């Protein structure tokens, strides 16, 4: 028999100053998240070819506008280490806020777990792409899109909880 703790607390029950603090935190987090996403678009890693060139170089193509070289093992470890840790913490803090929001249980369960699967697939895929498994570029792109959709949907539910939900005591 499962023992569940009944969670009745919701973000909407917080005093206005606490809701404001949560909202400004989510806003600042979103500025950081979407700045990182803008960097991804700037580096032209939104296509399988762009991903391949970004991590494995394009120095064999003499016609290219910008010469790129294969990333070193040290660069790859740094990229993967910093991104997996920081993005995991982003989704953990967002997940805490989402947990205390009124969201259908199945949607909440998905949004609390999916980002971590996408993090592992995205950065594991980048590593495997760097190791020569070119098909992983597609996994990286799909998991990156799912991660971003999870982020946006979570933020929308949290915003609704903080500002649009009526207080029920």
Query: Does the pLDDT of residue 3 top 70, yes or no?
Result: no
What average pLDDT score do residues 51-57 get?
A: 91
Query: Mind giving me the DSSP string for 77-99?
Result: HHHHHHHHHHHHHHHHHHHHHHH
* Residue-wise pLDDT tens digits, 103-129: 999 999 999 999 999 999 999 999 999
Query: Mind giving me the DSSP string for 40-77?
Result: HHHTT-SSHHHHHHHHHB-TT-TT-SS--BPPPHHHHH
Query: Does the pLDDT of residue 131 top 50, yes or no?
Result: yes
What average pLDDT score do residues 121-149 get?
A: 97
pLDDT of residue 42: 87
The angle that helices 136-159 and 73-99 make with each other, rounded to 10 degrees, is 30
The contacts of residue 86 (CB under 8 Å, 6+ apart) are: none
pLDDT of residue 66: 81
Query: Does the pLDDT of residue 26 top 50, yes or no?
Result: yes
pLDDT of residue 61: 76
Rounded Cα distance between 9 and 20, Å, is 17
pLDDT of residue 77: 97
pLDDT of residue 165: 62
- Nearest Cα to Cα of residue 115 among 135, 131, 132, 96: 96
Query: Does the pLDDT of residue 50 top 80, yes or no?
Result: yes
Beta carbons within 10 angstroms of residue 31's beta carbon: 10
Average pLDDT of the chain is 91
Least confident span in 56-60, 120-124, 137-141, 164-168: 164-168
15: left (phi over 0), alpha (psi -120 to 50) or beta: beta
Whole-model pTM? 0.89
Q: Are 101 and 11 a contacting pair, CB within 8 Å?
A: yes
């Amino acid at each position: 028999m499962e023992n569940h703790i009944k969670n009745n607390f919701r973000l909407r029950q917080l005093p206005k100053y606490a809701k404001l603090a949560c909202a400004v935190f989510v806003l600042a987090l979103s500025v950081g998240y979407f700045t990182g996403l803008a960097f991804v678009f700037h580096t032209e890693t939104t296509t399988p070819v762009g991903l391949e060139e970004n991590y494995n170089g394009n120095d064999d193509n003499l016609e290219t506008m910008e010469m790129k070289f294969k990333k070193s093992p040290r660069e790859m470890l740094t990229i993967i280490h910093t991104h997996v840790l920081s993005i995991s913490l982003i989704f953990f803090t967002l997940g805490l806020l989402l947990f205390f929001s009124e969201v259908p249980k199945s949607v909440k369960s998905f949004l609390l777990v999916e980002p971590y699967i996408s993090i592992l697939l995205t950065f594991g895929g980048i590593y495997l792409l760097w190791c020569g498994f070119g098909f992983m570029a597609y996994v990286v792109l799909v998991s990156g899109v799912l991660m971003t959709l999870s982020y946006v949907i979570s933020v929308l539910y949290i915003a609704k909880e903080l500002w649009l939900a009526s207080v029920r005591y």
